[in-house]
A and B are shown apart, each in its own frame.
Chain A
Amino acid sequence: MVKLHRKVIGSAAMFSAAGLVLAGCAAADEDATSGGEVEVVDQSAFEEALSTPTELTMWAWVPDIQNQVDMFMEEYPAIDVTVENVGQGLDHYTAIRTALSAGSGAPDVVQMELQYIASFDVTNDLLDLAAYGAGDLEDDFVPWVWNQVTAGERVLAIPQDSGPMGNLYRQDIMEAAGVTTPPATWEEYAEAAQAVRDNTDSYISNLPSGQAGQWVGLLWQAGAKPFGFDGDSGVTVNVNSDRAKEVVTYWEELIKNDLVSTDPDFTDEWYQGLNQGLYAGWLTAAWAPVFLSGAAEDTSGLWRAAPLPQWGEGENVSGNWGGSSSAVLSATENPIAAYELARWINMDQEPALAFATEQFLFPTANSVLADPAWLEQEPEFYGNQRVNEVFADISESVDVEFQWLPYMDFAYSSFNETMGVEIDAKGDLSAGLDAWQEALVEYGEQQGFSVNE
Chain B
Amino acid sequence: MNAQTTSSVKTKNTRPVKVRKTSRVKRRTNLSAYGFVAPFLIIFFLMLFIPLAYSGYISLFIERIVGGINFVGLENYARAIEDPRFHEGLGRTALILLIQVPIMLGLALIFALALDSGYARGSNLLRLLIFMPYAVPSVVSTLMWGYMYGQNFGLVGQLATSIGLPAPDLLSPGVILFSIMNIVTWAFVGYNMIIMYSALKAIPSEVYEAAEIDGASQFRLAWSIKIPALRPALLLTTIFSVIGSFQIFVEPSLLSPLAPSAIGQSFTPNYYAYNLAFVNSELNYAAAIAFSLGVVIMIVSYAVQLSTQRKRVAE
A and B touch in the complex (CB under 8 A): yes
Q: A residues within 8 Å of B by Cβ?
A: 2, 5-6, 8-9, 11, 13-14, 16-18, 90, 94, 97-98, 122-123, 208-211, 233, 264, 266-269, 272-273, 278, 406-407, 409-410, 413-414, 416-417, 420-421, 423-425, 443, 446-449
Most chain A Cβ neighbours within 10 Å, of B63, B68, B172, B279: B68
Q: Report yes or no: B68 in contact with A122, Cβ–Cβ below 8 A.
A: no
**B interface residues, how many (CB within 8 angstroms):** 36
Contact check, B152 vs A278: say whether CB atoms are below 8 A apart: yes
Q: Evaluate contact between A14 and B284: CB separation under 8 angstroms.
A: yes
A4 CB → nearest B CB, Å: 10
**Chain A to chain B contacts (Cβ below 8 Å), 28 pairs:** A2-B66, A2-B67, A5-B68, A6-B66, A11-B283, A13-B63, A14-B61, A14-B283, A17-B61, A18-B57, A94-B279, A122-B65, A123-B65, A264-B260, A267-B150, A268-B153, A268-B154, A269-B154, A407-B65, A409-B279, A410-B279, A416-B261, A416-B264, A420-B261, A446-B64, A447-B64, A447-B281, A448-B66
- The answer for the CA separation of A446 and B284 in the assembled complex, in Å, is 13
Q: How far is the CA of A409 from the CA of B259 in the complex (A)?
A: 18
Q: Which residues of B contact A (CB under 8 A)?
A: 54, 57-58, 61, 63-69, 71, 147, 150-154, 172-173, 257-262, 264-265, 275, 278-284
Cβ–Cβ < 8 Å partners of B278 in chain A: 94, 97-98
**Which of chain B's residues have a CB closer than 8 A to the CB of A410?**
279-281
A272 touches B152 (CB 8 A): yes
Kindly list chain A residues whose C-beta atoms are within 8 Å of the C-beta of B258.
Answer: 264, 267, 269
A273: chain B residues within 8 A (beta carbon): 152
Shortest Cβ gap from A451 to chain B (Å): 11
Contact in complex: B150, A268 (CB < 8 Å): yes
In the complex, what's the smallest C-beta–C-beta distance from A10 to chain B, in angstroms? 8
Q: A5-B68, A13-B69 are in contact. Are A424 and B172 (CB under 8 A)?
A: yes
* A18-B58, A264-B259, A446-B64 known; A97-B152 Cβ under 8 A: no
Minimum C-beta distance from A212 to chain B (A) = 9
Q: Which residues of the partner chain B approach A18 to less than 8 Å between Cβ atoms?
A: 54, 57-58
Other-chain residue from A98, A413, A447 in contact with B65 (beta carbon distance below 8 A) = A447
CB distance from A44 to the nearest CB of B (A): 39
Interface pair A416/B260, CB less than 8 Å apart: yes
Residues of B within 8 A of A268 (CB): 147, 150, 153-154
Cα separation A17 to B63 with both chains bound (whole Å): 10
Q: Find chain B residues with CB under 8 A from A413 CB.
A: 265, 275, 279-280
Taking CB atoms, residues of chain B closer than 8 Å to A416 are 260-261, 264
- On whether A13 and B68 interact (CB within 8 A), knowing A90-B279, A423-B261, the answer reads yes
